[in-house]
Amino acid sequence: MARGNETASKIFYKGKSEDFIVFVDDLEILQKWKNDRSIALVDVLNGWKIFVTHSHGAQGVLDTASKNMLQNEFGTDNEDVCMVKILEGGEYQASSAREREGGKNDSKGPMIGH
């Protein structure tokens, strides 16, 4: 079985100066949360981090967003408030991670060319 080919569900938020991403468990839970705010954010989010792509879109390299970046974009550095704004104003995207095949036996004993 290949490893690392799970679907990644994320919310992409195009900001004024930076692009932000948070990961969610799935679209169904996100939709329920949008209609019923009594559902805890911890049940919606897959990890408690806000990522920034340095204006490279949804596929850019992900770094943790600094408090300064959050303050500049959302007017607060409170991660809870920022996550809610990203979930409300962002775009849902699901992508399948590239399949990874690990080496089984790289030496292959006598089968390797000498």
Task: Give the number of residues written for the chain.
Answer: 114
pLDDT tens-digit series, residues 52-88: 987 777 777 888 999 999 999 999 999 999 999 999 9
Q: What's the whole-number mean pLDDT along residues 17-45?
A: 89
Q: Between these two residues, 94 and 99, which has the higher pLDDT value?
A: 94
Q: Which domains does the chain have, with CATH numbers?
A: 9-94 (3.30.1250.10)
Contacts of 85 (CB under 8 A, 6+ apart): 13, 74
Q: In degrees, to the nearest 5, what angle opens at C-alpha 60 toward C-alphas 33 and 90? A: 25
- Helix (H) or strand (E) run with residue 94 in it: strand 91-96
What whole-number distance in Å separates Cα of residue 2 and Cα of residue 77? 39
Mean pLDDT estimate for the chain: 81
Whether residue 22 contacts residue 37, with contact meaning beta carbons closer than 8 Å, is answered with: no
What pLDDT does 98 receive? 53
- Would you state the structure tokens that stand for residue 20, as one six-digit string? 């932000």
What pLDDT does 113 receive? 60
Q: Would you say the C-alpha torsion 103, 46, 58, 28 has a positive or negative sign?
A: positive
**Predicted TM-score of the model (pTM):** 0.74
Comparing 31-35, 74-78, 91-95, the range with the smallest average pLDDT is: 91-95
- Would you state the structure tokens that stand for residue 37, as one six-digit string? 């705010």
Number of other residues whose CB lies within 10 A of the CB of residue 1: 5
What pLDDT does 1 receive? 43
pLDDT tens-digit series, residues 6-19: 667 899 999 888 89
